[in-house]
Amino acid sequence: MSHPTGQSPAAAPGDAQQSVDHALNHAIVEFYEKLSSWEHDVVREKGLTLPQVHTLEILGINQSMQMKELALRMGITTGTLTVLVDRLENKQCVRRRPHESDRRSIIVELTDEGRTLFEEHDRLHMQLTDALTAGLDTKDKAALLRCLEAMNRAF
């Protein structure tokens, strides 16, 4: 990894940048895994599964959606969603409602109980974010936000 020819004065900074990139990759993967594991634990404590909570989150943000829309948003087939919604309906978290004008369509929405679960989960997320970023100074927080938003746009 050294530069025996000494041809390039830019070599050292280049390597330093590459090592930052590697460290960044590593830190992202690690962060992702820790977040996954946290989410998994939190969700299971409520007696729900990850897809179930994911459904509540999307419905919590969007108020109500068609089955079709919801499946697309979640990246699953409508067949999978049918039984997912069945189970959430059994748990009294969501309800099916006929579409106003299209009798093929079905609207899914949160019940009061579902909304409560969603809000609790959201609060836990906020608390986690607060705890994780507690050690960061204002400037770093702002930079972090800027970076995350740029990366989200880049996806």
Partner DNA sequence: CCGTTTATCTTGACAGTCAAACTAAAATAC
Partner DNA sequence: GTATTTTAGTTTGACTGTCAAGATAAACGG
Binding stretches for DNA (CB under 7 A): 49, 51-52, 66-69, 71, 75-87, 96, 99, 101-106
CA distances, 64 to each of 88, 91, 99, 100 (Å): 14, 18, 11, 13
Residue among 10, 24, 98, 105 that touches its own copies (CB under 8 A): 24
Question: What are the structure tokens assigned to 38, written together?
Answer: 């946290």
Q: Taken in order 40, 45, 50, 54, is the CA torsion positive or negative? A: negative
Q: Which of 97, 115, 106, 7 is nearest to 56 (CA)?
A: 115
CB 57 within 8 A of CB 74: no
Among DNA, its own copies, none, what does residue 42 contact (CB within 5–8 Å per kind)? none
- Regarding 150 and contact with its own copies (CB under 8 A), the answer is yes
- Regarding 83 and contact with its own copies (CB under 8 A), the answer is no
Residues 62, 110: Cα–Cα separation, whole Å: 10
Among DNA, its own copies, none, what does residue 145 contact (CB within 5–8 Å per kind)? its own copies
Q: Which is nearer to its own copies, 99 or 136 (CB)?
A: 136
Least separation in angstroms between residue 155's CB and its own copies is 5
- Regarding 119 and contact with its own copies (CB under 8 A), the answer is no
Question: What are the structure tokens assigned to 152, written together?
Answer: 């989200």
Q: Which is nearer to DNA, 4 or 47 (CB)?
A: 47
Please tell me whether residue 64 adopts helix, strand or coil conformation: strand
Residue among 14, 35, 78, 82 that touches its own copies (CB under 8 A): 35
Least separation in angstroms between residue 24's CB and its own copies is 5
Residues 3, 48: Cα–Cα separation, whole Å: 55
Residues that bind its own copies (CB under 8 A): 17, 20-25, 27-32, 34-40, 75, 125-126, 129-136, 138-152, 154-155
